[in-house]
Amino acid sequence: MASLTDHLSDLVEDADAVLLFSPTSSFYDRFEDDDTEIVVVAPDNDVDADTFVELPLPFDDVKDRIRFGIEGAMDAELVSAGDEAVCIASIFDGGSDAVVRVTVDETIHTGIYDLFVNSRAEPSVIRDVFEVAIELGQKGQKGKPVGALFVVGDAGKVMNKSRPLSYNPFEKSHVHVGDPIVNVMVKEFSRLDGAFVVSDSGKIVSAYRYLEPGAEGVDIPKGLGARHMAGGAITRDTNATAIVLSESDGLVRAFKAGELVLEIDPEEY
């Protein structure tokens, strides 16, 4: 039976770039003299690759891993729409064992790479908050649609630019988003007004916060209301990221630096 290596030359031929996902040094060395653009996509550049894209999360789903790597390469202007990219990744634990050839398309460029890599909060925290918001969008709270606003990162400054609407149930706790029990609490509290404030490391600092940044200069799409305006404004005045679940249309949106950077339909996630 032919090995993966036996097929590589045909698959790589005429490709604009080859993306190696977490390769070993010996595997990377096989491409060292190749004329094609070689991009290593991994948590760390352990192979000292000249061209490297950070992969801040493990992404157990290979499709998500490849999409994320391609978007990172697009952000770094290593590939562009219309390019042919060969992605070599691992499905099992035996090293690089899968090859996918992808025609790069603008639909891959969603903004999620920049959101994870360049946000102040840890990537795993951004992911955990997204998962809570998406699950709320899919199931609602007790069968009814809900809206929610999570402000992630730069928590001290966010607290200074907001005020409490009610007693803070997390004031003396040390719970973190991502814990299944904590997520149940977050979903329950989402029925009430105000924003959740989450630290860079994922600690839930507060619930029921009324955000008080000025809205001047914040441009959000027509039809979005006060929750989105507040999310956009607080990210303009701080280094936080805002993740907003809309009660009206059920979409999850992310804001950074006062701008809408990502929109996800939970039903299609």
CATH of the domain at 262: 3.40.1700.10
Domain boundary among 72, 90, 109: 109
Query: Residue 10 in contact with residue 99, Cβ under 8 Å?
Result: no
**In the block, residue with structure tokens 């064992």:** 97
Report the alpha-carbon distance of residue 197 to residue 206 in Å, rounded.
5
Report the alpha-carbon distance of residue 169 to residue 172 in Å, rounded.
8
* Together in a domain, 186 and 146: yes
Query: Which helix (H) or strand (E) covers residue 155, if one does?
Result: helix 155-160
* Together in a domain, 236 and 158: yes
Query: Residue 190 in contact with residue 141, Cβ under 8 Å?
Result: yes
Per-residue confidence (pLDDT) for residue 139, from 0 to 100: 81
* Together in a domain, 139 and 264: yes
* Together in a domain, 48 and 131: no
Q: Hey, which residues does 209 pair with through a beta bridge?
A: 164, 195
Q: Hey, which residues does 7 pair with through a beta bridge?
A: none
Other CB atoms within 10 Å distance of the CB of residue 114:
16
Q: Give every CB contact of residue 198 below 8 A, 6+ residues apart in sequence.
A: 121, 125, 129, 150, 151, 152, 153, 155, 177, 204, 205
Cα atoms found within 13 Å of the Cα of residue 9, Cβ hemisphere only: 4
* Together in a domain, 151 and 39: no
**What are the 10-residue block averages of pLDDT along the chain, 269 residues in total?**
59 86 90 83 94 89 91 95 93 82 90 89 94 88 82 96 92 90 87 91 95 80 87 94 92 91 83
Domain boundary among 52, 78, 109: 109
* Together in a domain, 173 and 52: no
* Together in a domain, 25 and 78: yes
* Together in a domain, 18 and 92: yes
* Together in a domain, 158 and 251: yes
* Together in a domain, 147 and 104: no
The domain in which residue 214 lies consists of 114-268
Domain boundary among 109, 126, 142: 109
* Together in a domain, 233 and 246: yes
Task: Quote the tokens at residue 73.
Answer: 């390469």
User: Helix (H, G, I), strand (E, B), or coil: what is residue 162?
Assistant: strand
As a 3-state breakdown, the chain gives helix, strand, coil percent values, each rounded to 5, of 30, 25, 45
User: Helix (H, G, I), strand (E, B), or coil: what is residue 164?
Assistant: strand
Q: In this structure, what CATH number is given to the domain that contains residue 90?
A: 3.40.1380.20
pLDDT in tens, 21-76: 999 998 898 887 777 889 999 999 999 999 999 998 888 888 889 999 999 999 99
* Together in a domain, 66 and 165: no
How many domains is the chain partitioned into structurally? 2
**In the block, residue with structure tokens 């398309």:** 105
Look at the pTM and tell me if it is higher than 0.75: yes
Per-residue confidence (pLDDT) for residue 231, from 0 to 100: 94
Other CB atoms within 10 Å distance of the CB of residue 58:
11
